[in-house]
Amino acid sequence: MSILRTAFLKASESAWLRERAPRHRFVRRSVARFLPGESADDALAAARRLADSGISTLLSQLGENIEHRSGAEAVVEQYRDVLARIHAAGLPSDLSVKLTQLGLDLDPEFCFANLAQLAESALAASTPGGGTIWIDMEHSPYVDATLEIYRRARAKFPNVAVCVQAYLYRTEKDVESLIAQGANVRLVKGAYDEPSEIALPKKSDVDENYFRLAQMLLSAEARKSGARVALATHDRKLIARIADWAAAQGIPRDRLEFDMLYGIQRAEQLRLVREGYRCRVLVSYGSYWFPWFMRRLAERPANVLFLARNLWGG
């Protein structure tokens, strides 16, 4: 792992920086590239603009590790309101939630009940292109608990899906199990500071593992089980490699979904839609954006250069 990536990941965990860095104008100006605004209104407006271009969205309120039940309950109510507004507007939008935002640190049963509320609301307010609750994956200590809650929820709610991280050594076995369940899976590279004992430290190795996991999730076995995959990456070379492999397997383009972050690779998003692939953009909102922003900088050197230009520009 590069020194710069490590530094940004450490910064994402710093309460001191989380409190002070957002006060600086250049930091707020930089994050605006990735965040349309802090309110749900801002996120929904961005979702409408993207829908006009044929791009679906995932909406996510930033925040994690809720410390009080009242905070988790407020998150659930906010998300239920957003689901109703998605339905009213007919937007092709889903929700992406973190289980620690729903109270996982407080009580797994309380967290499960909150997730169930959202799944029920999403089913009732589903639109032709939406209605899924995507469970995000957090630090490695949460993987087992996240997958357990996902499996319980999936047994009751067909519209619950889960994220897995390609940089973890364990993910191949997790993917095998998820394929057997016919799961909907979002494949990401991973954006936390993990020890080399459990996560691949080299980017090239992560890329190769990502491609191998994508092949598994797009395989004939996975398709037969009903499993679906959303491929979350901004790496155009990796996208092209997966697309070429899928074409050689006879997999239709509209079977492939590529997910990206708001504000990144806009031209690539439009190209994918134009060429018949599905594309979904994660639109985040909320005031708790500093840790998330640091992880975005750690993911891609181009994001760091963008920050530097804002810093030098004053």
Q: Is residue 305 part of a domain?
A: no
Q: Could you read off the pLDDT of 218-245 as tens digits, one per residue?
A: 999 999 999 999 999 999 999 999 999 9
Residue 122 Cα distances to 125, 128, 155, 299, angstroms = 5, 12, 16, 31
pTM for this structure? 0.85
- Sign of dihedral through CA atoms 309, 282, 240, 269? negative
Q: Is residue 73 part of a domain?
A: yes
Q: Which of 12, 85, 96, 104 is nearest to 61 (CA)?
A: 96
Q: Is residue 254 part of a domain?
A: yes
Residue 313's pLDDT is what? 44
Measured over all CA atoms, what is the biggest interatomic distance in the chain, rounded to whole angstroms?
55
Residue 314's pLDDT is what? 39
Q: Any catalytic annotation for residue 278?
A: no
Domain total for the chain?
1
Q: Which of 105, 136, 207, 259 is catalytic?
A: 136
CB 72, CB 63: distance < 8 Å = no
Check which CATH number belongs to the domain holding 156 and give it: 3.20.20.220
Q: Which residues contact 238 (CB under 8 A, 6 or more apart)?
A: 207, 210, 211
Q: Which of 80, 85, 154, 186 is catalytic?
A: 186
Q: Is residue 19 part of a domain?
A: no
| Separation CA 164–CA 50 (nearest Å) | 25
Q: Could you read off the pLDDT of 98-132 as tens digits, one per residue?
A: 999 999 999 999 999 999 999 999 998 765 545 89
Residue 160's pLDDT is what? 97
Residue 162's domain comprises 36-288
Residue 295's pLDDT is what? 66
Residue 125's pLDDT is what? 73
Q: Which residues pair with 121 in a beta bridge?
A: none
Residue 36's pLDDT is what? 86
Q: Any catalytic annotation for residue 42?
A: no
Give pLDDT < 70 ranges for the chain: 1-32, 126-130, 288-314
